[in-house]
Chain A
């Protein structure tokens, strides 16, 4: 009996696995473009990476979570059962439980908050905000990080020393505190929060990029580039940066998880996204006082959404690190 179950599970697993058979997709694209068939035995580097990724169960799980989130964010206006910010507020629906309760309203599966807004719809729209924050903040951090890291790593010397001391000083503030400080200067709001988080993460990115630039700089092909008279700019953009891409992707993914968490924290403190924006942290902050009157759902579900997003990105990032970072390859 037990064995039967095992076989059943195996079949199920294989079915799931088949969905992720990118390899077929890849080779068919390759056939289309290059009009030649990849020989059966030798696998390309990309294929090897995809194969390694598929065997990393937790990374695949993280990818599924993130794809789900992206799906929710893109199609929020189609999936969401209700308007996330109805105006005027439907106060007669205030703090109604979800579909698990008899008292719940139809069409409001996760219940409503104090202004009678559908929590599920707000969470779905909130995915847009959180993903945007993640992308934009990490984007800012990466751009600043590349500017600082490449300058420091490529030119070295006193420029390097000064830039790295600045980075050290920025590291001597806990991340969230530095973000709060920046918000104190440039003002509150979601856009400002994104900028603040981007700046806070840039030293970390700068260090990572500097490290990989230092490594790439010493390789022979860069020396060859110099020998044939390429300009510094050309070497950096055409050769150094592409070779530093792997750590940028890995740490960018992990950073996005913390960026989403920090943005939610700023929203919770009232320094990030402002109401009525359906931002997860702000939702938590608005509804936390109603737990005393028994409305637990309003504060619970936005937090679960944050956990899923952060967990997904963390798992994906860890998986990507195992695959892409050759220094950790054993």
Chain B
């Protein structure tokens, strides 16, 4: 187990280097002079010379890469062309928002998807089963952004229950500590802010969580059905355990492994979905940062944000892989 983790961490290195090469080459593949790409159209000759000097743009490419990588590892991703802020600051300002949204979406997906899957499996071929699976099938084929707009329209515009965008009501005083707004408002005991933040969180989380929910529901169902067919379940039923105990105590636990796989795989989808959900709900997260940066041709920001995205994605995949062994001790990695 320990060796497996070490091996996986070692395998992470080439992937991360590859990712950084892709990010690095972005600046050079973009049309035009790289110095201008990094500084924007309005840069002065002095600034251009300075950046050429700093990144060694007259040197061969591999030297430039090493210089650039060294800066990145020291947290220096350059300055944004549009806002003139440090790219790393922009990213860390937005990062907590995306994390909170993703966690909320995943909680929604796991809770609802898991329950729907278990109920569907325990009542196979019933009307409930067909309804849940029908919804799940539609959930998989639904564009995230369309679902977001529909939720916004129904619950925000027609019913007026929930706000249709943003992170918090601007009139409510909010004290920033970590940037994780739910967490911050809890530790400062700011109930008003907490309610506002949660109300703003509900619709985006549902929109983002629906596709993973549908996948989790489908996989939970099929995995549960497989487990329920096994001998030990029959034994438990025969010895007189209640159906409830059979399903919730024994079957669910054994059906977990494929579900965890799907949860892990869905994190990538979640990141891609966050780009769209954040655009729909004007959510100040990383996803919108990427889109805005591409739109403004703000290359330093594009490079920084895709690096972060890719690193999160790779790390989540790694955690998923390692997590298997804890859930199912039968899995052994060579």
The answer to whether A265 touches B145 (Cβ under 8 A) is yes
The answer to whether A175 touches B272 (Cβ under 8 A) is yes
Q: Residues of B contacting A269 with CB < 8 Å?
A: 275-276, 279, 291
Q: Residues of A contacting B269 with CB < 8 Å?
A: 174
B294 to A, closest residue via Cβ: A184
How far does the alpha carbon of A310 sit from the alpha carbon of B138 in the complex, in Å?
Answer: 9
Give the distance to chain B from A154, nearest Cβ to Cβ, in Å: 24
The answer to whether B143 touches A281 (Cβ under 8 A) is yes
The one of B143, B294, B306 in contact with A271, judged by C-beta atoms closer than 8 angstroms, is B294
Q: How many residues of B contact A (CB 8 A)?
A: 45
Count of CB-CB pairs between chains A and B under 8 Å: 126
The one of B29, B137, B146, B152 in contact with A284, judged by C-beta atoms closer than 8 angstroms, is B146
How far does the alpha carbon of A326 sit from the alpha carbon of B134 in the complex, in Å?
Answer: 27
Q: Residues of B contacting A168 with CB < 8 Å?
A: 15, 18
The answer to whether A300 touches B150 (Cβ under 8 A) is yes
Which of the candidate stretches A30-38, A75-83, A111-119, A288-296 sits at the interface with the other chain? A288-296
The answer to whether B272 touches A257 (Cβ under 8 A) is no
**Interface secondary structure of A, over-half rule:** helix
How far does the alpha carbon of A303 sit from the alpha carbon of B146 in the complex, in Å?
Answer: 6
Given contacts A185-B30, A269-B276, A303-B143, contact A169 B15 (CB under 8 A): yes
Bitwise interface map of B from 269 to 296 toward A, beta carbon under 8 Å scored 1, else 0:
1011001100110000000001100110
The answer to whether B302 touches A184 (Cβ under 8 A) is yes
The answer to whether A173 touches B143 (Cβ under 8 A) is no
The answer to whether A185 touches B275 (Cβ under 8 A) is no
B309: Cβ under 8 A from any A Cβ? yes
Q: Residues of A contacting B276 with CB < 8 Å?
A: 176, 265, 268-269
B142: Cβ under 8 A from any A Cβ? yes
How far does the alpha carbon of A298 sit from the alpha carbon of B215 in the complex, in Å?
Answer: 29
How far does the alpha carbon of A322 sit from the alpha carbon of B19 in the complex, in Å?
Answer: 36
Give the distance to chain B from A289, nearest Cβ to Cβ, in Å: 10
How far does the alpha carbon of A171 sit from the alpha carbon of B313 in the complex, in Å?
Answer: 10
| 182-238 of chain A: CB within 8 A of chain B | 183-185
A314: Cβ under 8 A from any B Cβ? yes
The answer to whether A306 touches B146 (Cβ under 8 A) is yes
Give the distance to chain B from A179, nearest Cβ to Cβ, in Å: 9
The one of A169, A285, A291 in contact with B18, judged by C-beta atoms closer than 8 angstroms, is A169
Given contacts A169-B15, A173-B313, contact A270 B306 (CB under 8 A): no
A180: Cβ under 8 A from any B Cβ? yes
A315 to B, closest residue via Cβ: B137
B20 to A, closest residue via Cβ: A169
The answer to whether A306 touches B149 (Cβ under 8 A) is no
Which of the listed residues A166, A284, A294 has the most CB atoms from chain B within 10 Å of its own CB?
Answer: A284
A177: Cβ under 8 A from any B Cβ? yes
How far does the alpha carbon of A180 sit from the alpha carbon of B29 in the complex, in Å?
Answer: 14
B268: Cβ under 8 A from any A Cβ? yes
| 227-279 of chain A: CB within 8 A of chain B | 257, 261, 264-265, 268-271
How far does the alpha carbon of A185 sit from the alpha carbon of B297 in the complex, in Å?
Answer: 9
A70: Cβ under 8 A from any B Cβ? no
How far does the alpha carbon of A207 sit from the alpha carbon of B56 in the complex, in Å?
Answer: 38
B233: Cβ under 8 A from any A Cβ? no
Q: Residues of A contacting B30 with CB < 8 Å?
A: 184-185
The one of A173, A284, A300, A303 in contact with B310, judged by C-beta atoms closer than 8 angstroms, is A173
How far does the alpha carbon of A303 sit from the alpha carbon of B153 in the complex, in Å?
Answer: 13
Contact surface of A with B, Cβ cutoff 8 Å: 165-166, 168-169, 172-177, 180-181, 183-185, 257, 261, 264-265, 268-271, 281, 284-285, 288, 291-292, 294, 296, 299-300, 302-303, 306-307, 310-311, 314
Contact surface of B with A, Cβ cutoff 8 Å: 14-15, 18-19, 22, 26, 29-30, 137-138, 140-147, 149-150, 152-153, 157, 164, 268-269, 271-272, 275-276, 279-280, 290-291, 294-295, 297, 299, 302, 306, 309-310, 313-314, 317
Known: A292-B157, A292-B164. 11 other contacts (CB 8 A): A173-B19, A176-B276, A183-B294, A268-B143, A269-B279, A271-B291, A284-B143, A284-B145, A303-B150, A311-B137, A314-B140
What are the 4 closest A-B residue pairs judged by CB atoms, nearest first?
A303-B146, A169-B18, A176-B272, A311-B141
